[in-house]
Amino acid sequence: MTKNAATLVDKEEISDFTFPKGEVLNSDLARTERDSQIKKAMKLGNNSKGKVQIFFEDTEGLKKVETTIWGVTDKYILLKKTTIIPIRCIHEIKFN
């Protein structure tokens, strides 16, 4: 999937999405890089309320959202309010 094909969505829509059960990244290296991006994005969000672009997949295809990551668990990233995205469904995080 190309990042250019990602559909821009509002963070308020994410709670209505259905996510695939499997991991979207194929390699350990890609998953390690994603984990590093998530930690960096959370620090940016907590320290300066900085927004990032999150490229993720739901059952309908590739999406992107521009938002702040407020927290991380072992399985999810936490956005505003109760909005979560499973880490296994995140392709990439880009910094603005």
CATH number for the domain including 37? 2.30.30.100
Kindly state the average pLDDT of the residues 20-39. 97
pLDDT score, position 3: 66
Instruction: Give the tens place of pLDDT for each residue, 35-52.
Output: 999 999 999 988 888 899
pTM: 0.92
Range of the structural domain that residue 20 is part of: 3-95
- Structural domain count, the chain: 1
Residue found under tokens 């992107």: 64
In this predicted structure, the answer to whether residue 2 has a pLDDT above a threshold of 70 is no
The pLDDT-based confidence of 57 (bands split at 50, 70, 90) is very high
What separation in angstroms does the CA of 96 have from each of 17, 18, 23, 51?
25, 27, 25, 7
